[in-house]
Structure 1
Amino acid sequence: MTNDNNTASSSSCFSELGLISPLLARLVDLEYKQPTPIQAQAIPSVLNGSDLIAGANTGSGKTATFALPLLQQLFNAKSSGKPSTNKKGNYAATLVLVPTRELATQVADSIRSYAFHLNGTVKTVAVFGGVSVNRQMLALRGGTDILVATPGRLLDLISSNAIKLDQVKTLVLDEADRMLSLGFTEELSALLAMMPKQKQTLLFSATFPEQVKALTSKLLNNPVEVQVQSADASTLVQRVFTVNKGQKTAALAHLIKENQWRQVLVFVNSKSGCSHLASKLAKHDITAEVFHGNQGQGARSRVLQAFKDGEIEVLIATDIAARGLDIEKLPVVINYDLPRSPADYMHRIGRSGRAGEIGLALSLIDYEDYHHFKIIEKKNKFRLEREEIAGFEIDESLIDPDFSANKPVVPPPGSGKKKKAKKAAKKESSIYADIWSGNVKSDSK
């Protein structure tokens, strides 16, 4: 296994990575100025046909990292007169497996966008559950160059003879830690058994827990490993606020109103919790929409698009919104409930502070959450100062002795405590102060 842990990009422009002119032209259209560290380090390896394990922060450009070189490989093969598969029919040359319907749509749309100047030579199809299978079966007639799929729907299509996998030359596992988790083990094993043993395999994720790393040796052949910590991560500020049990909703409503946030993504742990919190926020005159797995795909798509367009100010979601979704310039993510998995914490907060944009990630914890948050910190190797919100100070008699340690009271803007607010602001960096005030501007693409 080859390791590359550089933190800086080794190439200052995309033309140095060996990409062909139609792809470079599209990157100019999209105003991509220079490759991110993960792109600079991984794209040459993918072009060379190497297996790859790539880990980087969310929002660091992982989709382009595999989409660009795979498009180039397929385009060059077709330009030379070589078919993408060795047989005609319902075959796929490249398979990209993703854990959620929304991510399937997003990845496929991104691939089609990057292929804009390839004149339709590379066919991309996305398949996922929650919608009629007939249209997807029609799209797969004659096969496809790139198939983006969720495992369950793909297995359904295979059982209907709509697609075959024995000609797959490249397999991509996006959000690989989730794809290799217990929830997908049976489906993934069934799909792998249908693919050739000799193929290029690419794994991409923001996190790679130890149990996942142990499985990669069975999937990959002498892979190149690229682990980068993007400098963009510094644009995301994390904070944790302690509140009394039963006061989370009031504290959340207070923060949203006082800071006049235009877009807030709030995470809870259950589908019923989404509706319950939305009802409680309505009593504070805050309108919120929900996003969870019990909704039909059409409803989920409409809600997500409305949130991206800024038509919805507060979106309450389960962890289906934590993986891979790219919501441009999302300013604030809030953990109302802490995620059960420490790895999911990083995926949640990664919805903000993407691609160099400034972002803020808040967690609200009461005494029942305190020890779990310590585990999240330990697993993800960080430590945050415990703070309180003015007007929502915790009752010392109800909590553990160390719960209240190192927790300054921070009056948010508009609280009326100008002297204390001014003193607190001086202690913060300029980026922190800008985020907290909501006066954030960024020219980053």
Structure 2
Amino acid sequence: MTFEQLQLIPPILKALAKENYKQPTPIQEQAIPSVLAGRDLFGCAQTGTGKTAAFLLPIIQLLSTQRDLTKGKRVIRSLILTPTRELAIQISDNIKSYGRFTNLRSAVIVGGVPQRAQEQALEEGMDILIATPGRLIDLMNQGFVDLTRVQILVLDEADRMLDMGFIHDMRRIIAKLPAKRQTLFFSATMPPEITSLVDLLLTNPMKIEITPVSSTAERIKQRLYFVDKPNKLPLLIDLLRDKSITSALVFTRTKHGADRLVSGLMKVKITAQAIHGNKSQNARQTALKNFKSGATRLLVATDIAARGIDIDELSHVINYNLPNIPETYVHRIGRTGRAGLSGVAISFCEYEEIPYLKDIEKLTKQRIPVIGDHLYPMAITETAPATSGDSTRVHSGGADRSDSAGKEGSTAVSGSRRRRRRKKAGK
């Protein structure tokens, strides 16, 4: 199928040609006709499936072919709610690209920056407002926001908004919207809370599920290292001697952990910057810009801040800490291997994180290959819990995996070999 066959108007087709978009992705093929027809939509789709264009292209078409009602009035015709600043800014950039040959006006409402310019944009009115719930609620409380004329509502990455505690803000915002509207709802996972919201907000929706959340991209090569916490930084520095790691998005569990890791990397002259919720919006945007341009080799991020980071040529994702939610692992590694390219996902696993590994492998229904032959194995003398039904053992030599059929797994170096390598490395 082509974009022309989706009945998109010439200004949008011209913009897509400028972006070098050749043909729609599966979610775009299914979503665009339904949205153009005015139907509510529920899409269960991971990052990298093209879902942003799946809702933006038909919204731009619907709004640009209707009479402009925003001039001189505080009118918002379409509201897009997103969990993070980065994702909101990314969507805004996409609107500018896809709608460059239309006269649509859009604005971004996010925290971390002065609100005066946002107040002025709201006063003038706009076709599309992209907002994070927290700042939007602040401006609503101050009387700057009028949502009574919204025709199309988009909830993007709704599961992440729930994880971040935005459920009450979302309900307050939705209560101010007109009952008669079109609602587009996107989530990467389907916890019970999401199912309840879908049933509450959507009327006879078109349901689309693209790439089950338990799957991982085929082009992504996964690797696992069992390693003690004190040895994580030395191992990472060791791995970064590999020049094929041209750019890496490194995930940590906490904001302070991200800052400590950047400090440790900078001490050995490895360029890295952190991006997390404690950083100002300008600092986060600068770090992201430097990473995309190649000025910074590593971007260290928490899961929340990483939403909205969309880089086609990201060579590696590194899980410095394994996530305690298995779906998050799938979402993380999906940041690489995009746009038809290959990618590598490297994960470090401490002894305490083995239960997380077990959950990840249960969800994905596959074993992550263990790299046991390295200088920094996990120093544990007792037998660790098995993962995914395998007789996985973690001990002073690293990790040994073999199933009941006796298939060969990845085995760590012997103690003597390891001592020789350490001795050599210490010269």
TM-score category, normalised to shorter length: 0.7 to 0.9
- Residues 400, 411 of structure 2: 8 Å contact kept: no
CA distance in 1, matches of 2:239, 2:62: 49
CA distance in 2, matches of 1:105, 1:58: 16
> Could you tell me which residue of structure 2 aligns to residue 440 of structure 1?
none
> Could you tell me which residue of structure 2 aligns to residue 6 of structure 1?
none
**Unpaired segments of 5 or more residues in structure 1?**
1-11, 412-445
CA distance in 2, matches of 1:315, 1:342: 22
CA distance in 2, matches of 1:285, 1:123: 44
1:409 to partner: Cα distance: 5.1
> Could you tell me which residue of structure 2 aligns to residue 408 of structure 1?
410
Counterpart amino acid of 1:224? Answer: M
The equivalent position to 2:184 in structure 1, one of 202, 205, 209, is 202
> Could you tell me which residue of structure 1 aligns to residue 313 of structure 2?
329
The equivalent position to 2:55 in structure 1, one of 44, 59, 66, is 66
2:45 is the counterpart of 1:56: yes
> Could you tell me which residue of structure 1 aligns to residue 405 of structure 2?
none
Counterpart amino acid of 2:2? Answer: C
User: Could you tell me the percent identity over the aligned residues?
Assistant: 43
> Could you tell me which residue of structure 1 aligns to residue 322 of structure 2?
338
> Could you tell me which residue of structure 2 aligns to residue 216 of structure 1?
198
Structure 1 stretch displaced more, 146-155 or 50-59: 50-59
The superposition leaves residues 40-91 of structure 1 with CA deviations (integer Å, 9 ceiling, x where unpaired) of: 111111111111111223112111110000000001112xxxx447x97212
**Unpaired segments of 5 or more residues in structure 2?**
386-391, 394-398, 402-408, 414-427
CA distance in 1, matches of 2:64, 2:177: 22
The equivalent position to 1:99 in structure 2, one of 66, 83, 86, is 83
2:175 is the counterpart of 1:173: no
Give the 3-state SS of the residue equivalent to 1:183 in structure 2.
Answer: coil
TM-score calculated relative to the size of structure 1: 0.83
Counterpart amino acid of 1:331? Answer: S
CA distance in 2, matches of 1:245, 1:124: 46
The superposition leaves residues 385-417 of structure 1 with CA deviations (integer Å, 9 ceiling, x where unpaired) of: 333243334446244163334252599xxxxxx
> Could you tell me which residue of structure 1 aligns to residue 13 of structure 2?
24
> Could you tell me which residue of structure 1 aligns to residue 284 of structure 2?
300
The superposition leaves residues 136-189 of structure 1 with CA deviations (integer Å, 9 ceiling, x where unpaired) of: 111222311100000111112222322211111111011121124460111011
- Residues 149, 178 of structure 2: 8 Å contact kept: yes
2:33 is the counterpart of 1:44: yes
Structure 1 stretch displaced more, 392-401 or 262-271: 392-401
Structure 1 stretch displaced more, 87-96 or 330-339: 87-96
Counterpart amino acid of 1:69? Answer: P
- Residues 42, 226 of structure 1: 8 Å contact kept: yes
TM-score calculated relative to the size of structure 2: 0.86
CA distance in 2, matches of 1:117, 1:382: 46
CA distance in 1, matches of 2:373, 2:308: 31
Counterpart amino acid of 1:101? Answer: R
- Residues 264, 331 of structure 1: 8 Å contact kept: yes
- Residues 46, 188 of structure 2: 8 Å contact kept: yes
CA distance in 1, matches of 2:315, 2:156: 25
- Residues 222, 369 of structure 2: 8 Å contact kept: no
Corresponding residue pairs, total: 393
CA distance in 1, matches of 2:72, 2:201: 27
- Residues 248, 318 of structure 2: 8 Å contact kept: yes
